[in-house]
Structure 1
Amino acid sequence: MDPLSALRDFTIRGELDKVAQVGNEVRFGSNYAFPCSIETAYRSKQGNLYTLQTLVFFIKNYSLKHTEFIQSARGNRLPAVTLPDRKPLFDYLTGKIDSTDQIEFHLPQNPNALDASRIETTLLGDETQRNNNDFEILDYMSMIRAVEKPLKDLEALLECKNSDFYSVLVSSTRREEERQRIESHQRKDGLMVAETIFNEWPHLERLEALVDVENVGSQKLKGGKIGEGVPIILVPSAFQTLLTIYNVKEFLEDGVYIPTEVKVKSMNGVRPECVTVQKKFSRDRDQVVKAYEVRDKPSALKPEDWDRVVAVFVLGKEWQFKDWPFKDHVEIFNKIIGFFMRFEDDSVESAKIVKQWNVKIISISKNKRHQDRAAALEVWDRLEEFVRSRSHS
């Protein structure tokens, strides 16, 4: 479609609000785009062809008096539509008349049905027209631009209609859960191998030569006070705490805090009984990977399991420690390192009780997720220091 017909079409349909100048182009919604300076097929009575930019300005400001219109056009540095052309041009653009002698279409209305004889005459030349000085020199770039129809513009591409990013999150979370499940089975297999080697070859003084004992979690072989098996970290089962069985892995392994309600939704409400987290520590210039079990049901622990509990994230409520095999808070936090997670801008009252206990308060921001990693590293550093001192006590 040529620019004059496009402007007439949008005017008749009452969609001039969709006609706008963007840079050096006049865009008709997402349908068409033409250069502002392209000449239209409407010739003024003074002999010149009006540009598209001039006609758009005219039809959008037709309600102005002609003197005001002239001044406004000059202010916008645009050639103005002359007074004799105003009414016939307005009648044509609004559909009151279908044609006028002032319209000179040099291109077919349908760009897909170009007249082959016209093209041949133009490109190869027609001697008769040459002799009569009627040969027209056409601006071929203007011809091409006049029939262009962009399918998409930048704004349309950014709309992302019918996109569902939540499904992407759910899919990635499921893959991560599957990876965790596989790793958990592999670690259990490693524990069985370590036990078999120890039982069959008890005379080996350095089992580490065959198996990295810390890697599979059998820390009793190191001569410390920690019970046999993977060490345990306890978290509250209540949702009003920041760290739960749902989001603990992302926080401790990746250093990213994800609200519990978001994780619950992505996991379709499936509650894990146990989550395994890993951390790399430096030991004698080597990287050692330690595995920890995270649980939120202390009542399910066997008496021998309590020897493996090394850390607890406290809720700040006395009832959290009901039926624990310790006589008081002093004994609990001597044998187990305690952490309390809070938002840094929470009231002091939220940590009033835990400040009376021997626990470390870990503060994170509500919005600045890039700061989560420092908080997670602080947990690991203090936990490693506590486990090391407990093993040598």
Structure 2
Amino acid sequence: MDPLSALRDYTIRGELDRISRVGDEFRFGSDYTFPCTAETAYRSKQGNLYTLETLVFYVKHHQLKHTEYIQIARTQQIPTVTFIDRKPLLEYLQGKIASTDAIELFPSAPTVADDVPIIELHADSRVVDDPPVVDFMSMIRAVERPLKDREAILECRNRDFYSVLVNATKREEERQRLESQQRKDGLVAKNRLMGTEERGVGYGDEARFNDSAMKSNLNLKSSKIAEGVPIILVPSAFQTLITIHNVKEFLEDGVFIPTDVKVKQMKGSKPECVTVQKKFSRDRVVAAYEVRDKPSALKPEDWDRVVAVFVLGKEWQFKDWPFKDHVEIFNKIIGFYMRFEDDSVESAKTVKQWNVKIISISKNKRHQDRAAALEVWDRLEQFIQSRSHV
């Protein structure tokens, strides 16, 4: 039996725990033994044949998120299954589909004559056993070779899709602009409505209330919260854990991805602004924030919308900020300092002198990231509520 078929058989039977690695070999119970680097018949969309080592590691860790799976595989120096191959490969190994175009069968299938058993006869010419049924269709499929695969059909030579990319990018930017405006309008309306309810103003008094709102203590700037989407500042330096590259995954999904890994995945220029949403549930957005890393680009009125900053722990981060010192900064803006839990105490020596919240995460236990992200959201929400009552 070939390695791919053996792995599929053990996966379907739920006996993956019987597959063990001994030296440079995988032992499938007492049934089979294959080299770890043996190529299987499953071909990646990128064109290479997956090794048995790659497939065994993937099928035993398929429940992990793709980013976490890649990080663990890298620590063990095991080649990974690409994201696009994950689902069809798993469905095949689990027996949910019988076959797939990705399987490249080796041209060593027996011929019909070779595989037909010889019927044993006695001297009196009577048949002793009935011959087994021969699966001729499987034998034919074993020697078939496709003229074109899915990737070859999708290839469009001498065609440039740059204009398609440009138009799609423009549509996405326009969508984000409209969503940002809608969130801004929604926040303003919500704040005004909450102010109306707190003062017991009836619906008949709404017009008078709206006229006097900007002259009273409902004025958003006087309550230290400016109209518009709140802003969170992050350092532009790579030596900090949270940057504009990975802040969205951390705050929205509760997953920390190192900046260098995220930069390679993005394969493009650094964004000037990222929208991060706090979600009450998977499909319900509670609040939205703009994340920026260039304080020098902020206008004077933009500073009224700044509610939080991830600090680098260096004095020069706050150069040219419109505040006189750290005391004023962290009275008006909540500060967060992200660190690995096993870092030395000296790394946080400076920030411990500031009024900032130190958030620790693990270097390897990615399932703990969500708790750290929730702590950031909770601290931020408490700070905004306290600031709105100033």
TM-score after normalising by structure 2: 0.53
Q: Does 1:309 align with 2:306?
A: yes
What is the 5 A alignment of 1:358-373?
Answer: 358-373=355-370
Q: Which one-letter code corresponds to 1:241 in the other structure?
A: T
- Give the gaps of 5 or more residues in structure 1: 1-19, 32-108, 124-128, 153-161, 163-174, 208-218
Q: Please point out which of 179, 191, 199 is paired with 1:186.
A: 179
Instruction: Report the CA distance between 1:269 and its aligned residue.
Output: 3.3
Q: Does 1:374 align with 2:365?
A: no
2:290 alignment partner in structure 1: 293
Instruction: Report the CA distance between 1:205 and its aligned residue.
Output: 3.6
In the superposition, relative to structure 1, how do residues 222 and 288 fare at CA in structure 2: closer, same or farther (>3 Å)? farther
Q: Which one-letter code corresponds to 2:237 in the other structure?
A: A
What is the 5 A alignment of 1:1-393?
Answer: 110-112=111-113, 133-138=124-129, 140-141=131-132, 144=134, 182-191=175-184, 203=207, 205=209, 221=220, 224-280=223-279, 289-393=286-390
Q: Distance in 1 between matches of 2:363 and 2:171?
A: 29
RMSD after superposition: 4.6
- Give the gaps of 5 or more residues in structure 2: 1-26, 41-109, 143-150, 152-167, 193-204, 212-217
Q: Is the partner of 1:203 in helix, strand or coil? A: helix
Q: Distance in 2 between matches of 1:337 and 1:195?
A: 22
Higher Cα Rg, which structure: 1
Q: Distance in 2 between matches of 1:315 and 1:26?
A: 52
In the superposition, relative to structure 1, how do residues 179 and 256 fare at CA in structure 2: closer, same or farther (>3 Å)? farther
In the superposition, relative to structure 1, how do residues 246 and 23 fare at CA in structure 2: closer, same or farther (>3 Å)? same
Instruction: Report the CA distance between 1:178 and its aligned residue.
Output: 8.4
In the superposition, relative to structure 1, how do residues 184 and 247 fare at CA in structure 2: closer, same or farther (>3 Å)? farther
Q: Is the partner of 2:245 in helix, strand or coil? A: coil
Q: Distance in 2 between matches of 1:349 and 1:182?
A: 45
Q: How many residues align?
A: 247
For CA contacts below 8 A with separation 6 or more, give which structure has more relative contact order.
1
Q: Distance in 1 between matches of 2:278 and 2:287?
A: 5
Q: Deviations over 1:89-130 (max 9, x none)?
A: xxxxxxxxxxxxxxxxxxxx9534899xx99xx79xxxxx98
Q: Which one-letter code corresponds to 1:320 in the other structure?
A: Q
Q: Is the partner of 2:276 in helix, strand or coil? A: strand
Instruction: Report the CA distance between 1:378 and its aligned residue.
Output: 0.4
Q: Is the partner of 1:238 in helix, strand or coil? A: coil
Q: Distance in 2 between matches of 1:21 and 1:251?
A: 40
Q: Distance in 2 between matches of 1:309 and 1:392?
A: 16
Q: Is the partner of 2:301 in helix, strand or coil? A: helix
Q: Distance in 2 between matches of 1:150 and 1:245?
A: 55
Q: Which one-letter code corresponds to 1:333 in the other structure?
A: F
Contact 1:234/1:313 (<8 A) preserved: yes
Q: Distance in 1 between matches of 2:243 and 2:174?
A: 18
Contact 2:238/2:259 (<8 A) preserved: yes
Q: Distance in 2 between matches of 1:202 and 1:180?
A: 36
Instruction: Report the CA distance between 1:289 and its aligned residue.
Output: 1.6
Q: Distance in 1 between matches of 2:28 and 2:250?
A: 49
Contact 1:223/1:391 (<8 A) preserved: no
Q: Distance in 2 between matches of 1:239 and 1:177?
A: 29
In the superposition, relative to structure 1, how do residues 246 and 312 fare at CA in structure 2: closer, same or farther (>3 Å)? same
Q: Deviations over 1:33-58 (max 9, x none)?
A: xxxxxxxxxxxxxxxxxxxxxxxxxx
2:77 alignment partner in structure 1: none
Contact 2:185/2:228 (<8 A) preserved: no
Contact 1:256/1:372 (<8 A) preserved: yes
1:6 alignment partner in structure 2: none
Q: Is the partner of 1:303 in helix, strand or coil? A: coil
Instruction: Report the CA distance between 1:134 and its aligned residue.
Output: 3.3
Q: Which one-letter code corresponds to 2:180 in the other structure?
A: R
Q: Distance in 1 between matches of 2:322 and 2:265?
A: 35
Q: Distance in 1 between matches of 2:208 and 2:314?
A: 47
Instruction: Report the CA distance between 1:187 and its aligned residue.
Output: 2.4
Q: Is the partner of 2:316 in helix, strand or coil? A: helix
Q: Which one-letter code corresponds to 1:366 in the other structure?
A: K
1:37 alignment partner in structure 2: none
Q: Which one-letter code corresponds to 1:300 in the other structure?
A: A
In the superposition, relative to structure 1, how do residues 113 and 247 fare at CA in structure 2: closer, same or farther (>3 Å)? closer
Q: Distance in 1 between matches of 2:371 and 2:127?
A: 74
1:70 alignment partner in structure 2: none
- Structure 1 residue ranges, 4+ long, deviating more than 6 angstroms after superposition: 24-27, 147-152, 175-181, 193-198
Q: Deviations over 1:234-265 (max 9, x none)?
A: 00000000000011011111111111111111
Q: Distance in 2 between matches of 1:256 and 1:358?
A: 26
Q: Distance in 2 between matches of 1:176 and 1:370?
A: 33
Q: Which one-letter code corresponds to 1:137 in the other structure?
A: V
In the superposition, relative to structure 1, how do residues 343 and 206 fare at CA in structure 2: closer, same or farther (>3 Å)? farther
Q: Deviations over 1:159-211 (max 9, x none)?
A: xxx9xxxxxxxxxxxx999878734432224536888999xx9826479xxxx
Q: Distance in 2 between matches of 1:325 and 1:362?
A: 26
Name the % identity. 62
2:7 alignment partner in structure 1: none
